[in-house]
Structure 1
C-alpha cells in the first residue's frame, strides 16, 4: 500500500493549518505549525498569492493528507461520489468519514488517523464480530466496532481512551466495553476539519 513517508508536520505547514497528523503533539506548543506558521522550504515565507487553480489544488491536497490516502484512491472516491445521488462534494466526504481507520480515530481508540490505520492493518478491531484489517473498509449504519480481546490490555489503546475527546454525534462509544457503534451518518458540521468541497469538485470536473 502506497503512503507518504515524509515528515508529517511539513504537510501541515504546507497547507497553512493544523491537520492533526501527529496526534497529541498537535495540541502542544511543540507543534511546528504554531512555531513556524509558513510553508516549509527556503522560500516558504515568500510564497506568492495562489491562483484559483492553485487554491483548488491545495484544497484537494489537504483532503488527501488529512485522510492519509494517495491520488489514485482519492480519485476513485470522487468517481464513486459522482455516481451517488445528491451533492458530489457531500458524498465524497461521507465516504471518507466512513473509512474504518477514520472511524477508529474519531471514536478515540487512536490518537491520529495514521495510528488508527496501523492498528486496523494489524488486526486490532472487529466489525460486527468479524476481524477487519482493511483501513478503507466503509462502515455502515448500526455497525459495531470492537477492540479484539487480545489487544484490550494494550497500553496505547487504553491511554487513547483515557483522553477525553469530542465524539461526533453519528458515533457512540462505550469506553468500558471498548466498543463503538455507528448510530447515524456523518454530517458536514460533524467533521473535525472543514473543507471547501466545491473547489475539489471543480478541480476534478475540468
Structure 2
C-alpha cells in the first residue's frame, strides 16, 4: 500500500511503534520516540492533558488503522481479509492476523531480510524474492507451511538484505531462517501468541461487523 503521509507521523498518530522506520526505530531515533505526541499543533498542545473518553467507534477505528498501517495494506484490502477470516472456523480476529502475517512481504520482513515491510514489498515487486525456487512478485501472496522463501542468487539487493539482517530483528518461532544463506521457510501457521501486532484485533472485528 503506497501512502502519501510521512510514515513516522502514522506511528505518532497511532500512539504506538508500527515498525515503519527500521534502522531509526532500532537506534531509538524514530519520530514517535523523539516526539511522543500526535502530529500537528493540537497534538503537542494536548500532550500531558487528560484525554476525553473516546467513543466506541473511535476506539474501533483507531485499532483498525493500527493494523492497516502496521501491515501496509489499504482499507479495502483489510476489509477483504476480514470477510475471508469470518468464513473460517477459527476466531475471526486471530485468523485475520494470521492471514496478514502470511503475506509474502510480511514473511520477508519477519525473516529479517528487510528493514521495513515497505522495503520487503519493493523486494518482492521487483522480482528479487523466490518461493520454492520460483519468482513471485505479488506481495499479498499467502505463504503456506512448508514453503521455502529465498532471495534470488546474486541479486542486486543482497547488500540491503545483509544490512537489514544486521539490525537484529527477532525471527518468530513460526518461521525457520537461515540468514547466512538468505533463505527460510514457514514452519507452521502463526499462533496468536507468536504475533506481536500492537493492536486489539477484537476491536477491528467489531469495527467491520458494525460498519
| TM-score relative to the length of structure 1 | 0.94
Q: Shift of residue 153 of structure 1? A: 6.7
1:98 to 102, 109, 114: 102
Unaligned runs of 5+ in 1: none
Q: Distance in 2 between matches of 1:158 and 1:168?
A: 18
Unaligned runs of 5+ in 2: none
Count how many residue pairs are aligned between Structure 1 and Structure 2.
205
- The corresponding residue for 2:18 is 19
- The corresponding residue for 2:138 is 134
- The corresponding residue for 1:151 is 155
Q: 1:62 to 1:25 in 2, by over 3 A?
A: same
2:77 to 55, 73, 80: 73
Q: Shift of residue 110 of structure 1? A: 0.2
Render the CA deviation track for 1:11-54: whole Å, top value 9, x for unaligned: 00001111110111112232111121111112114264421211
CA contact (8 A) 2:115 2:167 kept: no
Q: Does 1:178 align with 2:182?
A: yes
Q: Which moved more, 1:109-118 or 1:144-153?
A: 144-153
Larger RCO (CA under 8 A, 6+ residues apart): 2
Q: Distance in 2 between matches of 1:20 and 1:7?
A: 13
Q: Distance in 1 between matches of 2:142 and 2:11?
A: 26
Give the root-mean-square deviation of aligned CA atoms: 1.5
| TM-score relative to the length of structure 2 | 0.92
Q: Distance in 1 between matches of 2:90 and 2:197?
A: 21
CA contact (8 A) 1:108 1:160 kept: yes
Q: Does 1:201 align with 2:205?
A: yes
CA contact (8 A) 2:148 2:183 kept: yes
